[in-house]
Structure 1
Amino acid sequence: MSRVIGDITISLDGFVDGTGDGVEALHAWALASDDPVDAAELATVATAGAVVMGRGTFDVVDGPHGWQDGLGYGAREDARPPFFVVTREAPASVRLAATHDVSFVTGGPAAAVAAARRAADGADVYVMGGGATVGSFLAARLLDVLQLHVAPQVLGSGTRLFTGSAHRLVQRDVRVSRAAAHLTYEVLTPAP
C-alpha cells in the first residue's frame, strides 16, 4: 500500500508562511539552489503517484503567477501526477486543467487520501501545501511520514504547522544542504 507523506517547507521558528522577504527565501532550496542534496529531494517528490493539496494552495498554483511550464510540483522537476484538491466546492474555471489531471474532493481529507491512493496505484501519495492542510492531515492521523524542509529563516509570524495536537514521530533521515535541512519522520500515531 502506498504511504501518505506530508511534505512541507518550514522556517526555524515553525512557520510555513508569513509576510515579507522571508517567505521567498523559505523556498529558495526548491527554487534557486544548485546544491545536489536539494536536487535529490526534488527528484524524490517528483516520483509521487498522486498529490493532495488544499484549496488555498491550489488557488495559488492555478493563479496567473502559479505553476508555468518548467515549474510545478517538485519545483523545477515539474512533475504531473494526478492532483486531488480538498475543497468545499470546485472553482468555476481551472487554468491548469489543460495540462494537469486535477480532481476536486468535497468529502474531506480522508476522502482525498482514498482517491489519491487509488490513483497512485501503489506509489506514494504526497500531501503538499499550507500548514493548515498538512497540519490537519497530521491531526487526523492520515499521514504515515512527515517530511520537513527546514529553511534557515526566522519569519516571526505566519501560519504554524503544529497547532496543539501531540504526535509521536521517529526520525528516519536527515539530509543537509546549504539551503535547508531535510528531515524525514515516521508518524507513529496509527492511521484510522
Structure 2
Amino acid sequence: MTRIIADISVSVDGFVTGPDPGPDSGMGTGGDALHSWAFSDDPDDRRLLREATARSGAVVLGRRLFDLVDGPNGWNDEVGYGAGEAGRAAFVVVTSSPPESVRLTSLDWTFVTTGVADAVGTARRRAEAASARTGKDLDVVLMGGGALIRSALDAGLVETLSLHLAPVVLGAGTPLFTGAVPRTLVQRGCLPTSTATHLVYDVL
C-alpha cells in the first residue's frame, strides 16, 4: 500500500536550514549538521537510509530545493537521493514554471505547476505504477523543503511524518512548523542513534 510520507531533518529548535540559505549554501549557515546522520557510519543510520530509499516509489520536492539539487554544486555520483544509496525513484517538482533545462538528465523528472495536491497525486500514481511493476509496496516521499512539507501537512495530504532530529540548535533559519495548521500526531517509532533521534508519527 502506498503511503504519503513527509521525511525531513530538523534541528532541536525546529529549523530545516540554518540562517541565510541560498544558491551557494543551500542548507544555510551550520545547516549541514542537520544531515550528518545520512552520511554517518552508524549501522542504524545506514539501515534507516537504505530502507527508506528502497521504499521510495516517487519523491516530491519544491522548486527551490530542485534548483539546489540540479544546480552546478548539487547532486553527483557520490551524493544523491539517499546520500549515495541507489535510489531510482521518480521525482516530482512543485513549481510555478518548469525550468528551461535540466542538468541531471539521468533522473526521471516531472514538473507540476498546479499546486502541491496535484503534485502529490501525480507522485502517488507514479509510485503505485512502480509498485505494480516491481511487486513491492512503494511510498511517496516528500523530501522538502520546509514550506512544501508544511503546506502538504496543512492540506491534510501527509499520512506519516518522519523527522530526523539533529542534536544542534541553529537559532534561526527556515522553520518547519511556524504558522502550521494544528495536527494530532501518534508516535509510531523512536530510534536514537549516535547522530540523530529518528521519530515516526502517524498524522491524524
> Equivalent residue for 1:16?
16
Q: 1:168 to 1:82 in 2, by over 3 A?
A: same
Cα distance in 2 for partners of 1:182, 1:21 equals 23
Q: Is the 8 A contact 1:71 1:78 kept in 2?
A: no
Which residue matches 1:7? 7
- Correspondent of 1:72 among 77, 80, 84: 80
Give the match for residue 109 of structure 1. Answer: 116
Report the CA distance between 1:22 and its aligned residue: 2.2
Of the candidates 152, 160, 166, which is equivalent to residue 151 of structure 1? 166
Whether 1:96 and 2:97 are equivalent positions in the alignment is: no
Please give the root-mean-square deviation of Cα atoms over the aligned residues, in Å: 1.2
Deviation at 1:45, TM superposition (A): 2.0
Partner of 1:39: 46
Q: Conserved in 1, the CA contact under 8 Å of 2:92 and 2:111?
A: yes
Between stretches 5-14 and 69-78, larger displacement belongs to: 69-78
Q: TM-score w.r.t. structure 1 length?
A: 0.93
- Matching residue of 2:186: 170
SS at match of 1:96: coil
Give yes or no for the alignment of 1:185 onto 2:194: no
Question: Please, what TM-score do these two structures have when normalized by structure 2?
Answer: 0.88
Identical columns (%): 54
Instruction: Specify the SS of the correspondent of 1:50.
Output: strand
Per-residue CA distance 1:144-171 (angstroms, 9 max, x = gap): 0000000000000011110222010000
Q: CA deviation at 1:71?
A: 1.6
Give ranges in structure 2 of 5+ residues lacking alignment.
20-27, 132-137
Which residue pairs with 1:54 in the alignment?
62
Q: Does the Cα contact within 8 Å between 2:77 and 2:84 map onto a contact in 1?
A: no
Report the Cα distance in structure 2 between the residues aligned to 1:158 and 1:78, rounded to whole angstroms.
Answer: 30
Structure 1 unaligned residues grouped into runs of 5+: none
CA distance in 1, matches of 2:61, 2:91: 7
The separation in 1 between residues aligned to 2:31 and 2:86, in whole angstroms, is 21
Give the distance between the partners of 1:112 and 1:125, measured in 2 at CA.
11
Aligned residue number for residue 119 of structure 1: 126
AA aligned opposite 1:73:
Y
Q: Distance in 1 between matches of 2:49 and 2:8?
A: 12
